Structure 1
């Protein structure tokens, strides 16, 4: 199935109920299970990833298929390694290509017994859950922060706790900070000095918890606001002073004339002037999930860019750097990779390769559909392949676009 997307909106107004943060929801679910909490988690994300993780945690089965949910794969691998029993965990064909060896090796150091059921270093896995003993572990800080988070979430429950020494530059430090700050809300003490994180053995304290709205989801509305002439829109339940690192985008979008105002019920985005930078240079090492948003915005507005800090994009739902290069080429933009983990565009469009009505492939990646669709506001109608991939993080996205005036049809 394909959706055809077009839009001719100049002034925007309305109220949007953003999905809850998938990052917070998934972490909260693991903490909730480890704390044997009697309290519900309020405003839990309705994303596919969170539903998959929640279903696994409350399942009576010993075998789990988590589909495309990379977070669930990593978090469950660590969680099940310390739950006594025999477990099998698998996923989609793409998931079977995504690396997990770094996490498995770290868990093995703690006493875990995990076997590969397919290709060495990738899912599916057979996990023999048992008592684990903490120690000091060395990890490459440039790996996906989800490996680090998976270990940190179980750290307080390990005999003797856990010390992580992160070598080199730490990627997505904001996501590690999010994990630790969430753990602290559930009573966990920790020390984080330079590249060493120490979590003593202790118990999680169950609390009544409410999940924030999702800042990655909000990024598409900032993108939309940057592409219209003027407007004001309320993002319900969004918090400027957020645990989420992607809240940094509020400052970035001031360069596009978009202001953010915290109200009791959420954040108001307003635009009264058409500013835009001549060129955009950004480091995404703390915010990799919004790279597609910014690349699509720049191409839509004709802004040359040079992005760095994108190394982890190659091991996401797809190789996101290659996907952006492939699909933005259909709009006439030739993106280059100046170095590993970088992406750049000179601001020039090749009208010979530009397609009249491009078919955007999503590669089973929700953020491809979410980031490309707003480009229609720049007079760039398109078709989007497999549009329901957005249910991975933002199930109501297409309904919300229709609500403000986008034309979305099969």
Structure 2
């Protein structure tokens, strides 16, 4: 599914947002660990959450989680302590996303997990049993989903878990999100310095309703920043959110977007751009990086963004993808040390009618779609269906806000 996207004369309206994928996927695991009789309310209908929900409600022992990285990591840990024999596989891209650190950590805690094809990568053969638990160390620079996966099953290990994080800890808000959600289900975690400790405990069932997703809201902030007179209302967003990506309000305030909280959510309007050069460390909010990179380039705001090391192992190599696609639009970005991306204003000749490749990455499609606001002829997006991974109704939302989409 390919779209040409053209901006309307006005941009505005009430835009429904999906539920937070980060919260949905954690709460589904916690709900299952609590043997809860309650169904989680306001679940996202995105691919990642759907495959996880189906796996947790299935009587099958073989799971294809497609491109859902969160489901791969959380299910690997979850199934390792469920008595039985299981297999997990996914797309070809998933089979090339590393999972060795998580598997080694689980095996050291008493699990038995084997690789079915390539060493260190899915698909996996899991022999589930009671886990002994104990004390392990992990680099703090690994995906926070590894850490969250271990933490959520930790209270059900015979000895609990003491997890030492070494080096720089990335995506700390996602770890704190996991800890806070575990607390809401009755389990306490102690985080002192670089050590996380979870003693043996039992989860308690609780009714749970998921809030809207701040990561998905970021694309509407981007649209507001690139529009002349936007008036957008986004439902279900909370001012005191557990989601680390709620920092989007502060980042886009520097790029001329005013956030007004209402009982229904937020209202976005335009104001003066405050920053002529933007610097930010995305170590705690890597999913916002593509949105800010594209926005700054289109606004002509030079930037230096650090803490991007996890972007290399996401759905695609997001640093390379951003450089490739922005070059088509006439912007030359520089990457340094595998963790820094910067733009000093350097331009090149843009393609006449560029087509943006999406690399099987939902965030590439959504971060580039607003570029249509700055191109009279619009912009072509290839394989636009990838948004189903996190925001299935994104394109309908664009039309609702005044954009025109034409399939080609």
TM-score by length of 2: 0.98
- Aligned mates of 2:399, 2:154 — CA distance in 1: 44
More off after superposition, 230-239 vs 363-372: 230-239
Partners of 1:362 and 1:369 within 8 A in 2: yes
Q: Deviations over 1:129-164 (max 9, x none)?
A: 011011111000000101001001101111121111
Q: Of residues 359, 362, 373 in structure 1, which corresponds to 2:358?
A: 362
Please show how residues 201-240 of structure 1 align to structure 2 within 5 Å: 201-240=200-239
Aligned equivalent of 1:113: 112
Partners of 1:302 and 1:348 within 8 A in 2: no
Q: Which runs of 5+ in 1 are unaligned?
A: none
Partners of 1:306 and 1:345 within 8 A in 2: yes
Once the two structures are TM-superposed, the CA of residue 257 in structure 1 deviates from its matched residue by 2.2
Please show how residues 4-403 of structure 1 align to structure 2 within 5 Å: 4-9=4-9, 11-271=10-270, 273-351=271-349, 354-379=350-375, 381-403=378-400
- Aligned mates of 2:230, 2:343 — CA distance in 1: 29
- Aligned mates of 2:347, 2:375 — CA distance in 1: 15
Partners of 1:229 and 1:274 within 8 A in 2: no
- Aligned mates of 2:89, 2:39 — CA distance in 1: 28
Once the two structures are TM-superposed, the CA of residue 8 in structure 1 deviates from its matched residue by 4.3
Partners of 2:41 and 2:208 within 8 A in 1: yes
Once the two structures are TM-superposed, the CA of residue 276 in structure 1 deviates from its matched residue by 4.7
Aligned equivalent of 2:3: 3
- Aligned mates of 1:131, 1:82 — CA distance in 2: 5
Instruction: Give the SS at the match of 1:76.
Output: helix
More off after superposition, 284-293 vs 372-381: 372-381
Instruction: Give the SS at the match of 1:41.
Output: coil
Instruction: Give the SS at the match of 2:335.
Output: coil
Partners of 2:15 and 2:401 within 8 A in 1: no
Query: Stretches of 4+ moved more than 3 A in 1?
Result: none
- Aligned mates of 1:263, 1:402 — CA distance in 2: 24
Once the two structures are TM-superposed, the CA of residue 398 in structure 1 deviates from its matched residue by 0.4
- Aligned mates of 1:403, 1:32 — CA distance in 2: 35
- Aligned mates of 1:356, 1:154 — CA distance in 2: 52
- Aligned mates of 1:334, 1:8 — CA distance in 2: 28
Partners of 1:301 and 1:378 within 8 A in 2: no
TM-score by length of 1: 0.97
Instruction: Give the SS at the match of 1:42.
Output: coil
- Aligned mates of 1:315, 1:178 — CA distance in 2: 21
Instruction: Give the SS at the match of 1:142.
Output: coil
Partners of 2:15 and 2:400 within 8 A in 1: no
Instruction: Give the SS at the match of 2:233.
Output: strand
C-alpha RMSD over aligned residues? 1.1
- Aligned mates of 1:303, 1:276 — CA distance in 2: 10
Instruction: Give the SS at the match of 2:231.
Output: strand
- Aligned mates of 2:269, 2:2 — CA distance in 1: 32
Once the two structures are TM-superposed, the CA of residue 63 in structure 1 deviates from its matched residue by 0.4
Partners of 1:227 and 1:378 within 8 A in 2: yes
- Aligned mates of 2:295, 2:339 — CA distance in 1: 19
- Aligned mates of 2:166, 2:352 — CA distance in 1: 48
- Aligned mates of 1:198, 1:262 — CA distance in 2: 36
- Aligned mates of 1:7, 1:287 — CA distance in 2: 28
- Aligned mates of 1:194, 1:210 — CA distance in 2: 32
Instruction: Give the SS at the match of 2:125.
Output: strand
Partners of 2:366 and 2:387 within 8 A in 1: yes
- Aligned mates of 2:267, 2:48 — CA distance in 1: 28
Instruction: Give the SS at the match of 1:5.
Output: strand
